[in-house]
Amino acid sequence: MSEYTFSLEMDVRDYECDIQGIVNNAVYQNYLEHARHEYLKQVGIDFVELARKGINLVVVRAELDYKMPLISGDKFRVDLKMERESRIKFAFYQDIVRLSDEKTMVKGKIIGTALNTRGRPEIPDELNRLLE
């Protein structure tokens, strides 16, 4: 976990599970997104305020490797680190780890960019400072 810069603990809720009793694969993206938003808040970047200014942070690619399923009642942690991918892209490397045994359930790489008021990719200053 030392490679990560942020971690967030969460619980699986019953309604997130499918008929097989496991977390539906689409729900993992919600977990990852929630952790990204919480991380940005922690480092002083207000996602909502950026949107009000016409700067939209968007996902352009999501790569998820499902290792093992979570089930209702599982407690887990989303670990995260953010890195620059290019001049106009950044990546969140995220793992979902079950707390009871520290097993990695999902490994993800989410690539994003920021769109300026003209809809063009442009990383805002506050994100550039974070990525330096």
Give the residue numbers annotated as catalytic, written as ranges: 18
d(CA 95, CA 106): 6
Which segments of the chain does DSSP mark as H helices, in order? Answer: 27-42, 47-52, 125-131
Question: Could you tell me the two tokens for 39?
Answer: 């991380």
**Cβ neighbours of residue 6 under 8 Å, at least 6 residues apart?**
35, 38, 39, 42, 79, 80, 81
**Alpha-carbon separation of residue 19 from 90, 96, 121 (angstroms):** 36, 22, 40
